[in-house]
Amino acid sequence: MANIEDSKKRRPVDIASKMFFGQPIVAADVINICIRDQIGKGKILPEYLTRLDPAHYNVLVEKDGKIKSDNRYRDLLFKCKIPEKEGKYIYVGIELQTKKDKNMLERCWEYDLRFYIEQKHDIAGRGSYERIPIVNIVLYLGYDKWNEKMSLFEKPFNFPKGVMSICPNYFINVFNMVDLARKSEVADSEELRVVLNCYRFIKNKRKLETIIKTGMPLGVYSLNAAILINVCLRLKLKLKVENGRVDMCKAMDDWRKEIERKAEKRGEKRGEKRGEKRGVIIGKEIGKEIGKEIGKAMADRRAEKRGKENTIISIVQRMLIGGVSIRDIAKYTGSSSAKVRAIAAAQNLALN
């Protein structure tokens, strides 16, 4: 198909969603869940669907009448046989959105206009100029609620009702995967049932893990389903593919071990930081105690020194009063003659 080359440049979630919902068995289930009541009583079967290349059904007509294809086109396009209506069919366009898009209505409107131009000029060579209606289904794969009808006149213009009644309206229906999950039992595709159940318990990680591991026999998923679950639910699983299948049990176990390993590593880092902080606190406390001991020892030494000096001064005083010579006093006290003279001068004592 022409859009395969372009899809390589798109995000993994876009590629994965197209691969998954592009399967006729899955697309048939989506159509039955979303619009079956509007198109007939019979059930849409996978064999009723023919997948088409959207690029061939999205044309432009220039002023000179030349027709060319545009590089913007819808995600998926199917030709759908209407049950119980021989020879009658419709086209079903499916848009896949992971984020809310305020321009979705206008984008689908533009796709439809180009599609009807294509039918008028019979670009695809159908051999009939009969106008076939197209139904748009927008599947919202995100988490937030966005599942309401989108109408061109959703926010009414400030005009009289009479004027609005003769203006053509246009609307599309947006279907939220979280809400569609309530109808998962309707789906014939085991893969779609598992995917919808995953969305159903999207906020319950424990339940989600159980569903992924036991949702299919032995937890072995098709590559399409595994990639969709992985990228849309942001599980970050490391998928290993064997014969086009993925062992999700092993992927989940590896994922849990990786989470535990990272948690343990984070715990070690937190422990190291707490240890460092505790060490600083203990170091400060020990430092304070050591400081006190050192201060006390220094004070004791200063007191001892002052005591010795006071004792020497007292001895020098008594010896000078007793008439002992400076030389003998210095020799007896172990002081210098200059110090003896200084003490004598400070005390106003006569020297001998």
Give the global pTM. Answer: 0.64
d(CA 73, CA 60): 12
The alpha helices in the chain, defined as continuous H runs, are 3-7, 12-21, 24-39, 104-121, 161-165, 177-180, 190-200, 205-214, 223-232, 248-321, 326-333, 337-347
Name the strands in the sheet holding 171-176, side by side, starting at the edge strand that comes first in the sequence: 49-52, 76-81, 89-97, 134-140, 171-176, 149-151
pLDDT tens track, the chain, 352 positions: 444 444 444 566 777 788 889 999 999 999 999 888 888 778 899 999 999 888 777 766 666 666 666 677 889 999 999 887 777 889 999 999 888 888 888 888 888 888 887 777 765 555 556 778 899 999 998 877 776 678 888 766 677 778 778 888 888 888 988 888 888 888 888 888 888 888 888 777 778 778 887 777 767 777 778 877 777 777 777 777 777 677 877 777 777 677 667 767 776 677 667 666 766 676 677 767 777 777 777 777 777 777 777 777 777 777 777 677 777 777 777 777 777 777 777 766 665 5
Are 149 and 171 contacting, i.e. CB atoms less than 8 angstroms apart? yes
The identity of residue 216, as a single letter, is M
Q: Cβ neighbours of residue 41 under 8 Å, at least 6 residues apart?
A: 83, 84
Residue type for 150, please?
M
CA angle, 17 as apex, 234 and 236 as ends, to 5°? Answer: 20
Q: How far is CA 209 from CA 70, 123, 218, 236, in A?
A: 43, 48, 14, 13
- Strand order across the beta sheet in which 220-222 lies: 220-222, 245-247, 241-242
In 3D space, the residue among 6, 213, 138 whose CA is nearest the CA of residue 226 turns out to be: 213
How is 192-249 classified by DSSP, letter by letter? HHHHHHHHHTTT-HHHHHHHHHHSSGGGEEEHHHHHHHHHHTT------EETTEEEHH
Nearest-10 crossing angle of helices 12-21, 24-39: 70
- Confidence (pLDDT) at 350: 60
Tokens representing residue 18 in the block = 């197209």
pLDDT for the residue numbered 6: 43
